[in-house]
Amino acid sequence: MGKDGTYRGQGHFKGQKSKTTKYNPSDIDSLKDLGTDLPEPDDFDGYYENIPDVSPYLLEEQHKDYTELCAQKVFNDTYKWLQKIGCEEVVSKQLIEQYAMSVARWIQCERALSKHGFLAKHPTTGLATTSPFVTMSREYKKQVNSDWYQIYIIARDNGIEADNDDEMEDLLD
């Protein structure tokens, strides 16, 4: 048991060994044995040709933990969806970038919570307190919802069909 009361490297309970099954990714037959049928990918010919370049701040290296910032992927996915419904010209690039960066920062906070936990040590008293990542994650989530709502309103007011609502929700998954 670690000093913080967690059981590291011993499974969930003291003395319990974790059981993992290793599959060789190059062994296609192992996937067939699992009964996994992979779906055919969507045809995205031409989608990436018309996506504008993102601002450099969405591509900057994360110096603290060297993880990849997923802002460009969120930007591309959102822009492709807007292209699909014919609204890419009416939503500003800056709004899409703001949304993408907020999503990326929210994901970063969630990763930090997974890594460090929900509790932190108070700097002056030394007692347990809520991790600052909890508050930051909550604030970024509010910003993500606000930005998404703005994008949705613009898309709705400019001809989005009601049956495309499910596709928009799929982007959040």
Q: What is the percent of the chain where pLDDT is above 90?
A: 29
Q: What pLDDT score was predicted for residue 19?
A: 52
Q: What is the percent of the chain where pLDDT is above 70?
A: 60
Give strand ranges (E) for 8-159. Answer: 119-121, 128-130
Residues 76-123: tens digit of each pLDDT: 999 999 988 888 889 999 999 999 999 999 999 998 898 888 888 888
Domain locations in the chain as residue ranges: 46-172
Q: Which residue has the higher pLDDT, 119 or 40?
A: 119
CA distance 53 to 17: 48
Q: What pLDDT score was predicted for residue 32?
A: 56
Closest CA to 4 of 137, 131, 107: 131
Residue 57 has pLDDT above 50, yes or no: yes
From the CB of residue 113, how many other CB atoms can be counted at a distance below 10 Å? 15
CA distance 104 to 93: 16
Average pLDDT over residues 124-139: 90
CA distance 133 to 107: 11
Residue 53 has pLDDT above 90, yes or no: no
Residue 162 has pLDDT above 50, yes or no: no
